[in-house]
Amino acid sequence: MTTRSETQTTLDHLLTEIEHRNPAQPEFHQAAHEVLETLAPVVAARPEYAEPGLIERLVEPERQVIFRVPWQDDQGRVRVNRGFRVEFNSALGPYKGGLRFHPSVDLGVIKFLGFEQIFKNALTGLGIGGGKGGSDFDPHGRSDAEVMRFCQSFMTELYRHIGEHTDVPAGDIGVGGREIGYLFGQYRRITNRWESGVLTGKGQGWGGSLIRPEATGYGNVLFAAAMMRERGEDLEGQTAVVSGSGNVAIYTIEKLTALGANAVTCSDSSGYVVDEKGIDLDLLKQIKEVERGRVDAYAERRGASARFVPGGRVWEVPADLALPSATQNELDENDAATLIRNGVKAVSEGANMPTTPEAVHLLQQAGVAFGPGKAANAGGVAVSALEMAQNHARTSWTAARVEEELADIMTSIHTTCHETAERYDAPGDYVTGANIAGFERVADAMLAQGVI
């Protein structure tokens, strides 16, 4: 039998090969490291997982599409962006994962997100494979008409690659209800099909699921609550710092407040706001969802309890809980040290890979409960899968039913991660638990389906 350390050496060689085969994709390397560094116990214990080629197939996307997206701005000038869709793994179901529109998007970013999505989707227990897409288009400051023309051009290529049984995109950074509407409209026009299951995150009344907008944030708070319960505590009266002020951050703050915690921060790329009285969600939603403004406007309009800190990071505000909900690598070693010094008890990732590997290590060493994104933020994609189920059945469920299913799924993900970590001698290590449990489900399906 191969020992754990021999297995880790083999996985380390594979990681070196991944870096050589995928140059200039640091985020993808980071995501691959984070998963492969935790798999040795399960690969050593179950010889079928050491089968040559299994993990090599897992780290190679099944298909990668890169395309030109030309569009005209309001002045009539032609702009050219790059579009991506990485269809990573379909062993468990149609590729599923969001679209990100942000200037930092490149192939490495989409591959890191697609790779994470494989394990996240497996953890939900639902029938969805992993994929991700997007563009380096920056929606900030663009008119509705420009965003519409961009989305129409993007879909004019993307439609060939997606379908309710093939690949089902949704939102992510820069892609919310407005963008999904324009994308769906163009898909319907080109294909002449009412194929509502082709995209999720649709509007109410034309195939969208109740609670999908809330699902990622709500789910992350439920995951954080489950981690706190393990420590014999609940969320009541806890102070929380949240980064971001988009879809995930807003509904994270909403659920924290509903469960009696005090969410005192939010942020965007200009800086952060701290509000001792707790974030006023009506005001934040008005500024972010209606006016599409910046967070400094919140501080201006809120009055004495709030102030705006330009360029700062929310992690310097003392708190019991931290819920990073903006973007990758937004919480580093120094931030982790500050959080620990201020007595943080749990960190739960609403964003994908927001905590750097060094910071994760520090937090875990200090005994902070750490919920990795692929487990903690899986509520969004889980409710997307419930939206697909409603679309297939041409029905719609009540908000109460969807929320109940979301709560069951988050509890079950927490239990799975917790028990898997214990089974592999890493009690309390949700990173190891999530990676191994997600891996087992995908790997079993891949082995059963042969070398494809």
Catalytic residue numbers read: 132
Say which entry of ligand NDP, ligand 2IT, none residue 93 contacts (CB below 5 to 8 A, set by partner kind): none
For position 97 contacting ligand 2IT by CB under 6 A, the verdict is yes
Based on CB atoms, which residue is closest to ligand NDP, 84 or 424? 84
Query: 114 is written with which tokens?
Result: 């697609």
Q: What is residue 266's three-state secondary structure?
A: strand
The contact mask relative to ligand NDP for 206-225 (x = CB under 6 A, - = no) is: ----------x---------
Among 32, 351, 402, 409, binds ligand NDP (CB under 6 A): 351
For position 326 contacting ligand NDP by CB under 6 A, the verdict is yes
**Euclidean distance between CA atoms 371 and 346, whole angstroms:** 8
Based on CB atoms, which residue is closest to ligand 2IT, 31 or 339? 31
216 is in an annotated binding site: yes
Among 29, 96, 149, 418, binds ligand 2IT (CB under 6 A): 96
For position 89 contacting ligand 2IT by CB under 6 A, the verdict is no
For position 61 contacting ligand NDP by CB under 6 A, the verdict is no
Task: List, as one string, the DSSP characters of 12-72.
Answer: HHHHHHHHHHSTT-HHHHHHHHHHHTT-HHHHHH-GGGGSTTHHHHHTS-SEEEEEEEEEE
Query: 46 is written with which tokens?
Result: 């179950």
**Euclidean distance between CA atoms 162 and 448, whole angstroms:** 25
- Closest listed residue to residue 97, CA positions, set 77, 75, 79, 124: 124
For residue 301, the minimal CB distance to ligand NDP (Å) is 17
The contact mask relative to ligand NDP for 86-105 (x = CB under 6 A, - = no) is: ----------------x-x-
Antiparallel, parallel or unpaired: β 167-170 and 129-135 = unpaired
For position 374 contacting ligand 2IT by CB under 6 A, the verdict is no
For position 429 contacting ligand NDP by CB under 6 A, the verdict is no
Task: List, as one string, the DSSP characters of 352-400.
Answer: SS-B-HHHHHHHHHTT-EEE-HHHHTTHHHHHHHHHHHHHHTT----HH
Based on CB atoms, which residue is closest to ligand 2IT, 8 or 384? 384
170 forms beta bridges with 98
Radius of gyration, CA atoms only, the chain? 21
Q: In the complex, which residue's CB is closest to ligand 2IT?
A: 98
For 107-110, the CB contacts below 8 A with 24+ separation are 107/25, 107/64, 107/66, 108/22, 108/24, 108/25, 108/26, 108/27, 108/28, 108/29, 109/27, 109/28, 109/134, 109/328, 110/84, 110/85, 110/86, 110/134
173 to 192, contacts with ligand NDP by CB under 6 A? 173-174, 176
193 to 212, contacts with ligand 2IT by CB under 6 A? 200
247 is in an annotated binding site: yes
Applying CB under 6 A, the residues found at the interface with ligand 2IT are 96-98, 117, 120, 170, 172, 200, 352, 380-381, 384
Instruction: Please give the annotated binding residues for substrate, written as ranges.
Output: 96, 117, 120, 171, 384
Instruction: Please give the annotated binding residues for NAD(+), written as ranges.
Output: 216, 247
Applying CB under 6 A, the residues found at the interface with ligand NDP are 102, 104, 171-174, 176, 216, 244-249, 268-269, 325-327, 350-352, 377, 380
